[in-house]
């Protein structure tokens, strides 16, 4: 029988009533003939309570004990859902990470899944089990200790199970009903996408972060797991939500799939820095060590052996970045004229696999922004994405203009 | 190095401050040179919350899922205590039942411990671990599923670890400071016992239930584990609490160790029942099936082929018992004159291993009660216990009189 993976996050299992609703949805898929693997998070708030206790015990806690404590929330949800499914007449049982086993690395709190043997589930499904309820976010190390997977761990668990079991699909139930062309709070013309390619979903991470963790999308792309994002609070149906899938599964698509943005960005420019081999490493090495998440990097053409170096970063990391750069320049004895920060910028991006085969996307983008009188400060491009930094006050205007010019309100 | 088992119940680990206090006590024992095994319960209230959720899911729940859910509370406490011990510079780690492993039967929710291999702990202690923090109340079945041990499970876990590791002692920390000659609320002359024999402790279960589960005392007796009951809220010391130990470890003791009582008892009498072989089975079989906990049974000498049959039981089971007896008598066609219930009685017992070698204990007991004008309704005796049923209104008076006549206020 075909297998299906369904994943429910913390708000979807926040209390017994919601877990009953989850059980109903699972029952619908069982009735269709699927062998179902359900991955659950902890009831919302529970993991935070546990994390809070651990943080109170010790600022430099042992990650192995952290994992042993915080993984307990998922175990509770898994057992309760199995009980309710049984009450509904569905043959179900719960599985904790070590019981499956979900074999992971020993990098506690950020463990990677190494292997999910399917033999135990295969045997139980053959005996008549209809639903395996899996505690998400956790696994077991070679040393036999409990591990957790870090942020977005339950999504990753779900995708990994779908890959291991060659599931027909991995349905991620969440509190939004799919992936949109842009944030509906910015423009009412935003439209839910029926399908989106893995590569686009990764580039739209800033939009998609609310629905899917980057890590789970990468894993799905590598193992060609068809991911569906849909709401656990609305009617389900075969067309509900957004399917994240391989390019070849998308018959025809718009050139641009969506418009993404990051509101609070900053731009730093190192003006007239001596341009010699190793200068980039001298700047960005120390920034990485200081924990600064540098995003876009632009270097102007050198003139008279000097150049301007611009990069973008989150606003709240500007002070840290400035300290790291000034110290590095002094240590390496690299001469520069000035270091200036602009903390009032936003990043706006258009994303779409259609760009590969369509020329002129950049020209249309820049034309639309120009027509609104929006000045572009920095540009970077990838094969399927064009991003610009602009003044923050124009961000909504830019998103609306780009959504219009690429006709995203129409399928 | 000698090993010591310490067990802390739910109120002793109710919050982080209390867990810190537990860590301090554990640290004191480590400083004395012990390798310590700490068994912990869930933070008070947590297990009830989990049990409540399970009961809400299903009236006839799957005990395997019940166990998977309710065992999670102990895991949290174990991890938190390990973290705090580490913070105090003590090399500690947490162990869940399956990691030890605590091998149990598959009787979920009432599992029996079959074996606790010591190899994993031996290896870790040899590597320098000072404290193994064990999640109490849980184990793992041969099928690899989580089991729980039922009521008083954490005490049983502690005693079983002490037996497996041949620990020097098993200290049960609780919210009372030891075992008393009787309930101090009945008489201010009640005195804490320094030592008590296993057999006496078992007979005093009705007093001791608050401090020790019968099951753990039986296990300690079988494996000669020296059990100490002491308060986690008062100063510790080598003489604190009460040591429950083998008879031979008690140099000299009073003839009577304590006076126990059960306030709410009932007495039922089947009057003038036909006395033929099988009549007892015909009565007490159906009572057991109906879930009635029959305690004392007295049968008067038969006269003219007829007899009176009296038994005691908890007050709230009288209606159920009456129905079961009447149906059984009708089904078996056993003729009887009447069935009467007295729901206003209490049971008072004197307990002591000294009775074996001292005659006249019963006579002194009956004399003391008679002097107070208290009528005895039923008497039963064992080798180290004499119990009587009396009118409930005399219960306190009887306990005080017996405490006085056997001189229990003096050591």
**Position of tokens 């006076």?**
B259
| DSSP letter string, B34-101 | -EEEEEE-PPTTHHHHHHHHHHHH-TT--HHHHHHHHTHHHHHHHHHHHHHHHHTT--EEEE-GGGTT
pLDDT at A298: 85
- The minimal CB distance from B72 to the residues A58, A75, A99 is found for A75
- The minimal CB distance from B75 to the residues A56, A68, A99 is found for A68
- Please, what sign has the CA dihedral across residues A116, A117, A120, A126? positive
Nearest to B212 by CA among B168, B256, B243: B243
**Spatial separation of the C-alpha atoms in residues A327 and A340, rounded to whole Å:** 15
Q: Provide the token pair at A277.
A: 């081999």
Inter-chain CB proximity B57 and A146 less than 8 Å: no
**Spatial separation of the C-alpha atoms in residues B362 and B365, rounded to whole Å:** 5
pLDDT < 50: residue spans in chain B: none
User: From B15, which residue of chain A is nearest by alpha-carbon distance?
Assistant: A53
Q: Which of A45, A65, A131 to mutate to test the interface with B (most CBs of B within 10 A)?
A: A65
* Integer angstrom CA distances of residue B299 from A156, B232, B384: 69, 46, 21
Q: Provide the token pair at A244.
A: 């994240």
| Local structure of residue B359 (DSSP, 8 states) | S
Inter-chain CB proximity B94 and A68 less than 8 Å: yes
Using CB atoms within 10 A of its CB, is residue A98 exposed (0-12), middle (13-18) or buried (19+)? buried
User: From B17, which residue of chain A is nearest by alpha-carbon distance?
Assistant: A57
Q: What residues contact residue B280 under an 8 Å CB cut-off, 6+ apart?
A: B299, B309
Q: What residues contact residue B350 under an 8 Å CB cut-off, 6+ apart?
A: B256, B258, B259, B260, B361, B365, B385, B386, B402, B406
pLDDT at A209: 54
pLDDT at B356: 84
Cα of A18 to nearest chain B Cα, Å: 12
pLDDT at B281: 85
Nearest to B41 by CA among B1, B4, B81, B68: B81
Window 35-74 of A: residues touching B by CB (8 A cutoff) are 50, 53-54, 56-58, 61-62, 64-66, 68-69, 72-73
b/e code B317-327 from CB counts within 10 Å (16+ = b) = bbeebbebbee
Inter-chain CB proximity A72 and B72 less than 8 Å: yes
Nearest to B292 by CA among B272, B268, B309, B270: B268
| Residues A321 and A313 sit within 8 Å (Cβ to Cβ) | yes
Query: In which order are the strands placed within the sheet that holds A146-148?
Result: A113-115, A103-104, A138-140, A146-148
pLDDT at B120: 97
- The minimal CB distance from B56 to the residues A16, A72, A93 is found for A16
Q: Is A349 helix (H, G, I), strand (E, B) or coil?
A: strand
Inter-chain CB proximity B75 and A69 less than 8 Å: yes
What CATH code would you report for B259-405? Answer: 3.30.2130.10
* Integer angstrom CA distances of residue B119 from A98, B82, B132, B261: 20, 20, 13, 44
| Residues A312 and A293 sit within 8 Å (Cβ to Cβ) | no
pLDDT at A302: 67
**Spatial separation of the C-alpha atoms in residues B260 and A410, rounded to whole Å:** 83
Q: Which of B68, B74, B109 to mutate to test the interface with A (most CBs of A within 10 A)?
A: B68
Nearest to A132 by CA among A144, A120, A141: A120
Give the β-pairing of B113-115 and A242-245: unpaired
| Residues B335 and B273 sit within 8 Å (Cβ to Cβ) | yes
Contacts of B65 in chain A (CB under 8 A): 79-80, 82-83, 86, 93-94
pLDDT digits (tens, 9 = 90+) for B66-92: 999 999 999 999 999 999 999 999 999
Torsion (CA) A8, A13, A19, A25 in degrees, nearest 10? -30
The domain segmentation of chain B, as residue ranges, is: 3-249, 259-405
Q: At what angle do helices B72-87 and B63-70 cross, to 10 degrees?
A: 20
pLDDT tens per residue across all 411 residues of chain A: 899 999 999 999 999 999 999 999 999 999 999 999 999 999 999 999 999 999 999 778 899 999 999 999 999 999 999 999 999 999 999 999 999 999 999 999 999 999 999 999 999 999 999 999 999 999 999 999 999 998 779 999 999 999 999 999 999 998 888 899 999 999 999 999 999 999 999 888 766 556 788 889 999 999 999 999 998 887 667 678 999 999 888 877 778 999 999 999 999 999 988 877 778 888 898 998 888 888 888 887 767 788 888 999 999 999 999 999 999 888 888 888 899 999 999 999 999 998 888 888 999 999 999 999 999 998 988 889 999 999 999 999 999 999 999 999 987
Torsion (CA) A18, A24, A28, A31 in degrees, nearest 10? 150
Contacts of B58 in chain A (CB under 8 A): 83-84, 86-87
pLDDT at B302: 67
pLDDT at A104: 97
Nearest to B140 by CA among B64, B216, B75, B77: B64
**Spatial separation of the C-alpha atoms in residues B82 and B95, rounded to whole Å:** 9
Q: Provide the token pair at A145.
A: 């200790």
Q: Which CATH class is domain B3-249?
A: alpha beta
- The minimal CB distance from A76 to the residues B50, B56, B86 is found for B50
Contacts of B78 in chain A (CB under 8 A): 68
Give the β-pairing of A146-148 and B103-104: unpaired
pLDDT at B200: 92
Nearest to B42 by CA among B50, B33, B34: B50
pLDDT at A7: 97
**Spatial separation of the C-alpha atoms in residues A23 and A26, rounded to whole Å:** 5
Peptide bond into B101 cis (omega under 30): yes
**Position of tokens 């859902």?**
A81
Window 140-169 of A: residues touching B by CB (8 A cutoff) are 144-146
Torsion (CA) B330, B335, B338, B343 in degrees, nearest 10? -60
Cα of B176 to nearest chain A Cα, Å: 27
Q: Is B227 helix (H, G, I), strand (E, B) or coil?
A: strand
**Position of tokens 């258009």?**
A350
- The minimal CB distance from A58 to the residues B57, B69, B86 is found for B86
- The minimal CB distance from B98 to the residues A76, A80, A98 is found for A98
Q: What residues contact residue B189 under an 8 Å CB cut-off, 6+ apart?
A: B400, B403, B404, B408, B409
Q: Which CATH class is domain A3-248?
A: alpha beta
**Position of tokens 């042993």?**
A68
Query: In which order are the strands placed within the sheet that holds A376-382?
Result: A297-299, A306-314, A258-274, A338-351, A385-391, A376-382
pLDDT at B209: 53
Q: Work out how many CB contacts closer than 8 A connect A with B.
A: 103
Q: Is residue B47 a known part of a binding site?
A: yes
pLDDT at B175: 82
Using CB atoms within 10 A of its CB, is residue B265 exposed (0-12), middle (13-18) or buried (19+)? buried
Cα of A27 to nearest chain B Cα, Å: 16
pLDDT at B21: 95
| Residues B362 and B386 sit within 8 Å (Cβ to Cβ) | yes
Using CB atoms within 10 A of its CB, is residue A194 exposed (0-12), middle (13-18) or buried (19+)? middle
**Spatial separation of the C-alpha atoms in residues B105 and B160, rounded to whole Å:** 14
Q: Provide the token pair at A320.
A: 């840290």
Residue A39 — φ and ψ, nearest 5°?
-110, 125
Q: Does B297 touch chain A (CB under 8 A)?
A: no
């Amino acid at each position: 029988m075909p297998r299906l993976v369904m994943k429910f996050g913390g708000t979807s299992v926040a209390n017994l009533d919601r877990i009953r609703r989850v059980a109903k949805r699972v029952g619908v898929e069982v009735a269709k003939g699927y062998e179902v693997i359900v991955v659950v998070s902890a009831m919302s708030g529970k993991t935070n309570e546990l994390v809070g206790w651990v943080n109170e015990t010790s600022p430099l806690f042992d990650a192995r004990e952290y994992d042993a404590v915080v993984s307990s929330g998922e175990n509770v949800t898994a057992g309760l859902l199995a009980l309710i499914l049984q009450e509904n007449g569905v043959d179900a049982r719960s599985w904790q990470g070590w019981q499956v086993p979900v074999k992971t690395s020993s990098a506690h709190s950020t463990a990677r899944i190494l292997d999910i043997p399917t033999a135990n589930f295969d045997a139980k499904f053959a005996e008549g089990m209809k639903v395996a309820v899996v505690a998400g976010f956790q696994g077991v190390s070679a040393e036999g200790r409990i591990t957790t997977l870090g942020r977005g761990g339950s999504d990753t668990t779900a995708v990994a199970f779908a890959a291991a079991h060659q599931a027909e699909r991995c349905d991620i139930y969440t509190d939004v009903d799919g992936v949109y062309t842009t944030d509906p709070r910015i423009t009412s013309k935003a439209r839910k996408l029926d399908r989106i390619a893995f590569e686009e979903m990764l580039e739209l991470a800033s939009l998609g972060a609310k629905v899917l963790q980057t890590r789970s999308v990468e894993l799905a792309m590598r193992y060609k797991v068809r991911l569906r994002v849909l709401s656990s609070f609305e009617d389900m149906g075969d067309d509900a939500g957004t399917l994240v899938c391989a390019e070849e599964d998308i018959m025809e698509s718009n050139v641009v799939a969506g418009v993404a943005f990051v509101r609070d960005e900053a731009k730093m420019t190192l003006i007239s820095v001596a341009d010699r081999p190793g200068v980039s490493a001298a700047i960005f090495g120390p920034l990485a060590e200081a924990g600064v998440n540098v995003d876009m990097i632009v270097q102007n053409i050198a003139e008279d052996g000097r150049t301007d170096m611009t990069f973008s970063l989150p606003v709240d990391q500007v002070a840290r970045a400035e300290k790291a750069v000034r110290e590095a320049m002094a240590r390496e004895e690299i001469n520069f004229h000035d270091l200036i920060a602009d903390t009032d910028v936003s990043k706006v991006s258009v994303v779409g696999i259609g760009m590969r085969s369509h020329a002129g996307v950049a020209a249309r983008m820049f034309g639309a922004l120009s027509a609104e009188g929006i000045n572009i400060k920095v540009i970077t491009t990838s094969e399927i994405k064009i991003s610009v930094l602009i003044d923050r006050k124009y961000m909504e205007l830019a998103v609306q203009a780009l959504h219009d010019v690429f006709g995203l309100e129409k399928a």
